[in-house]
Structure 1
């Protein structure tokens, strides 16, 4: 449990550092727009509930995938292909910036500890 709390603390501090970067904020906003537009599309075009559509969009962007849902319409299939290509690139870019912020924070902490010793 202690390990989980320490890891969560590192993640939250990494997020705060990442939000100070313009590129991260831009990617974050684009991801929110992607999630919103995907949710609205699948709700209207494929007849999914808002929660199911949002879940599908998050699973798709995080590259986990959704085993039970396959778009039924041709427009839905085309939209999903574009959504996967564009969204996965944005999501991986955002994760990369977050990882950079976490590593940068870890290096700072190590330097601070060495300076104190």
Structure 2
């Protein structure tokens, strides 16, 4: 266990990226991870019903940097997720934060 150039503690996003970058540069990397899986808090697994589940809660990846997007797409297939929050008011489901759709729905108006 002494034949490495770089020691990284933790195989979450930061540790995994650093390990990959160093390894790509020809360094010998040792990662020490206390959990029984990689990916840190972003770890997903398929449950007994075959449903992809986030072990530690939901996580979203945001970037508008094309270089970052190209980099992460080397390692996994991504799918688009649009996060929407809705509230139930009486019998209506309305978007939060409040917008013109919310007002029109709740007050039966047609404001534009």
Give your verdict on TM over 0.5: no
Q: If the TM-score is normalised by the length of the shorter chain, which range does it land in?
A: under 0.3
Higher helix fraction (1 or 2): 1
| TM-score after normalising by structure 2 | 0.26
Structure of greater relative contact order (alpha carbons < 8 Å, 6+ residues apart): 1
Instruction: Return the index of the structure with the highest Cα Rg.
Output: 2
| TM-score after normalising by structure 1 | 0.26
